[in-house]
């Protein structure tokens, strides 16, 4: 029929057939495990939010980067929207598909701030949407993992030092979760650089290299242009600004997390110089990075900036092989307040699934299809085969149903993944081949109305004695160590 032409999925979205769904599960489960093991709790919000939630954080410009959403039920609203849209793209739809999680998180935290612990550590992982032209590494629907630490653990009357320490610890904690994930997936500090910047620290460095120091703006602008101009031009302009760039370079280059900072601090403190809060922070951050075992992963890079209007402290990007950004984030101390909550410091990051998957595939770290099916539990526990007699044929469906049956008491641990053939052949040899191909752990050959032969397809051991059908399930659960102690 001419009418029945195939419909495609929208550009930039994905159809996940079983193997792609297993790959997605592999990633989301790794995200989940890394989050939980680092003490983050799962939260989630709506897939679409009021458009205002995003314009409030990012300005009206975001409207042309998101998908507008409206209810087809709301006749009046649809008409009014139509009239607005006809006038131009900046008339927003009432709702938008979420392009990021942070505004939802800020809204949720603000609504319950008084009853939430300090710090509150939340993670989420789900679909997000961007209205852009799809390209390699960027889709219009993608998954994103977010970890955020909101609020600080502080004593009742905190000193500036207490604040610096708690801030540094929270900053290091989100980086630790991110690196923890990458390490578990098989990446090493040779593959990955966590590059961090810090506007306050940059200003502190510049104050030591520009005299008299009034504002960092002109020097920052020059540093931004540096990669595009010649060394001579750069040096000449630096001189005009009284910017001792050689001293600056040596400060940056010599910045080894912890060591330099603690030695700098020791010298300063010995001289009777009081550390600035930013210097305290830098020392504490270095210390937190070191005790978390991340020294080899993290480095200072002032070219990491990421949206000055939004971030208020440390910012970072996670770069693989010097070019692929797999994650990014930083400190945003003003957002909770913007969404109606109490002033609350916060830090977090986001990691998408698209670049991460490409990295894992290119490095051979994505498990094989067979491994994926096993990891995701989609390999059968038992493949049930009839020996071909009418008696066994008749007994098979009930054997299958019994293996699958789960109880509430065991929380489903006594429910087994059991399969049978869909083929009409009665050849036991062929059926055993099919069982092996399915990745099944055991084959159970029904021999009569009362007995099966059990075969471990992974060790290739076959029981010499037959197993009564009545005890088959208990036997398999025992061999899979799935019975509770």
Question: Quick one: which segment of 61-69, 245-253, 262-270, 464-472 binds a second copy (CB under 8 A)?
Answer: 61-69
Among residues 221, 236, 308, 398, which is the contact residue for a second copy, using CB under 8 A? 398
Restricting to residues 27-46, which ones interact with a second copy according to CB under 8 A? 30, 32-34, 36-39, 41-46
Q: Residues 178, 149: contact at Cβ < 8 Å?
A: no
| Number of shown-chain residues binding a second copy (CB under 8 A) | 128
DSSP secondary structure letters along 281-341 = HHHHHHHHHHHTT-TTTEEE-TT----TTT--SEEEEEEETTTEEEEEEEE-TTHHHHTTS
Question: Quick one: which segment of 234-242, 253-261, 278-286, 394-402 binds a second copy (CB under 8 A)?
Answer: 394-402
For a second copy, the closer CB: 160 or 273: 160
Q: Copy the structure tokens of residue 370.
A: 């067979």
Q: Is 423 in the site for a second copy (CB under 8 A)?
A: yes
Q: Is 87 in the site for a second copy (CB under 8 A)?
A: yes
Q: Is 459 in the site for a second copy (CB under 8 A)?
A: no
Residue 468 makes CB contacts below 8 A (sequence gap 6+) with: 450, 451
Q: Residues 302, 291: contact at Cβ < 8 Å?
A: no
Residue 418's CB is within 10 A of a number of other CB atoms, namely 22
Instruction: Name the strand (E) or helix (H) holding 350.
Output: strand 346-352
Cα 482 from Cα 413, distance rounded (Å) = 7
Three-class SS of residue 246?
A: helix
Among residues 79, 247, 306, 437, which is the contact residue for a second copy, using CB under 8 A? 79
Restricting to residues 320-349, which ones interact with a second copy according to CB under 8 A? 337-340
For residue 11, the minimal CB distance to a second copy (Å) is 10
Among residues 101, 102, 110, 197, which is the contact residue for a second copy, using CB under 8 A? 110
Question: Quick one: which segment of 68-76, 307-315, 322-330, 347-355 binds a second copy (CB under 8 A)?
Answer: 68-76
Is residue 277 exposed (0-12), middle (13-18) or buried (19+ Cβ within 10 Å)? middle
Restricting to residues 150-169, which ones interact with a second copy according to CB under 8 A? 153, 155
Among residues 168, 174, 176, 385, which is the contact residue for a second copy, using CB under 8 A? 176
Q: Is 419 in the site for a second copy (CB under 8 A)?
A: yes
For a second copy, the closer CB: 172 or 209: 172
**Binding marks (x or -) toward a second copy, 244..283, rule CB under 8 A?**
----------------------------------------
Q: Is 118 in the site for a second copy (CB under 8 A)?
A: yes
Question: Quick one: which segment of 1-9, 251-259, 272-280, 304-312 binds a second copy (CB under 8 A)?
Answer: 1-9
Cα 149 from Cα 245, distance rounded (Å) = 36
Three-class SS of residue 101?
A: coil
Q: Is 135 in the site for a second copy (CB under 8 A)?
A: no
Q: Is 47 in the site for a second copy (CB under 8 A)?
A: yes
Residue 34 makes CB contacts below 8 A (sequence gap 6+) with: 177, 178, 180, 181, 184
Reported residue count of the chain is: 485
For a second copy, the closer CB: 134 or 200: 134
Q: Assign residue 244 a region (left: φ > 0; alpha: ψ between -120 and 50; beta: otherwise).
A: beta
């Amino acid at each position: 029929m001419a009418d029945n032409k195939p419909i495609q999925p929208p550009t930039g979205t994905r159809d996940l057939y079983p193997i792609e769904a297993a790959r997605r599960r592999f990633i989301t489960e790794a995200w989940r495990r890394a989050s939980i093991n680092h003490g983050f709790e799962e939260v989630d919000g709506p897939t679409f939010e009021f458009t205002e939630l995003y314009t409030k954080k990012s300005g009206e410009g975001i409207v042309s980067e998101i998908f507008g959403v409206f209810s087809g039920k709301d006749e009046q609203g649809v008409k009014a929207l139509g009239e607005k849209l006809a006038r131009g793209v900046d008339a927003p739809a009432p709702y938008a598909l979420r392009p990021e999680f942070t505004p939802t998180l800020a809204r949720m935290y603000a609504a319950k701030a008084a009853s939430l612990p300090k710090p509150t550590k939340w993670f989420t992982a789900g679909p997000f949407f961007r209205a852009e032209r799809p390209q390699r590494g960027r889709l219009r629907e993608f998954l994103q993992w977010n970890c955020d630490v909101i609020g600080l653990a502080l004593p009742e009357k905190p000193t500036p030092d207490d604040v610096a320490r708690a801030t540094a610890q929270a900053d290091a904690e989100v980086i630790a979760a991110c690196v923890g994930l990458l390490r578990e997936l098989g990446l090493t500090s040779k593959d990955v650089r966590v590059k961090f910047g810090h506007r306050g620290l940059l200003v502190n460095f510049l104050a030591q290299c520009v005299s008299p120091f009034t504002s960092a703006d002109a020097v920052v602008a020059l540093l931004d242009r540096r990669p595009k101009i010649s060394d001579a031009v750069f040096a000449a302009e630096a001189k005009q600004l009284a910017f001792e760039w050689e001293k600056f370079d040596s400060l940056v280059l010599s910045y080894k997390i912890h060591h330099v900072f603690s030695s700098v601090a020791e010298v300063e403190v010995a001289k009777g110089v009081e550390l600035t809060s930013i210097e305290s922070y830098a020392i504490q951050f270095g210390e937190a990075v070191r005790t978390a075992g991340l020294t080899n992963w993290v480095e200072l890079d002032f070219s990491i900036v990421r949206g000055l209007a939004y971030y208020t402290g440390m910012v970072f990007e996670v770069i693989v092989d010097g070019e692929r950004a797999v994650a990014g984030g930083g400190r945003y101390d003003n957002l909770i307040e913007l969404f109606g909550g109490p002033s609350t410091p916060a830090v977090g990051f986001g990691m998408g699934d698209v670049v991460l998957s490409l990295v894992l595939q290119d490095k051979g770290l994505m498990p094989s299809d067979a491994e994926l099916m096993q990891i995701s539990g989609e390999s059968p526990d038992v493949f049930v085969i009839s020996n071909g007699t009418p008696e066994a044929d008749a007994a098979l469906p009930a054997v299958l149903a019994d293996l699958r049956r789960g109880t509430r008491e065991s929380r489903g641990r006594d429910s087994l993944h059991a399969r049978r053939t869909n083929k009409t052949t009665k050849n036991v040899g062929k059926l055993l081949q099919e069982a092996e191909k399915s990745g099944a752990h055991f084959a159970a050959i029904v021999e009569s109305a009362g007995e099966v032969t059990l075969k471990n397809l992974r060790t290739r051991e076959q029981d010499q004695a037959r197993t009564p059908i009545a005890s088959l399930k208990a036997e398999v659960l025992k061999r899979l160590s799935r019975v509770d102690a």
